[in-house]
Amino acid sequence: MKSDIIIPIVENVFLAAVQEWSDDFMEKVWYAYLVNDSDFNLESVMVVSKAFGTIDGEMKKTSLLRHAYIEIPAVSVVKIEMLEKSVLVLNNEFMVTFFIGDKLYDRKFIFKANSITPDYVEEVPILFVDGVIVR
């Protein structure tokens, strides 16, 4: 029975954390982007994010944030949310679910604790700016 279930593999869709200037905070802050580098439109996209981990020996976790998008066109990006600097020391998890045609795709992306720093940046496709990519 389980062998009849086909779970499609998510390809050319990933997350990137990009540092940008914020007039509200008067400093550079990190933003999470969903990058669709595929040839297909993503439809009915849901992104659920949370952060979790240990700080000073104590388990911490944030509340869930949910984002919904009707469609993300092929070869495009969408800004998901700001990553507050106090959660960068935690694992930041993004669960992304979407349709391509009539197939449902599902993928968990995790920025490991302390990985969102200028030390780990590379050029983000489509945005052409430096950022931390998780595939």
pLDDT tens digits, 4-50: 778 799 999 999 999 999 999 899 999 999 999 999 999 999 999 99
Q: What is the pLDDT of residues 48-73, one digit of tens each?
A: 999 999 999 999 999 999 999 999 99
Conformation bin of residue 56: beta by default, left when phi > 0, alpha when psi is -120 to 50: left
Task: State yes or no: pLDDT of 1 exceeds 70.
Answer: no
Q: Alpha helix (H) ranges present in the chain?
A: none
pLDDT for 5 equals: 74
Query: Which residues pair with residue 55 across a beta bridge?
Result: 58
Neighbours of 87 (CB within 10 A): 22
Rounded distance between C-alpha atoms, residue 66 and residue 103, angstroms: 21
Q: Which domains does the chain have, with CATH numbers?
A: 10-129 (2.60.40)
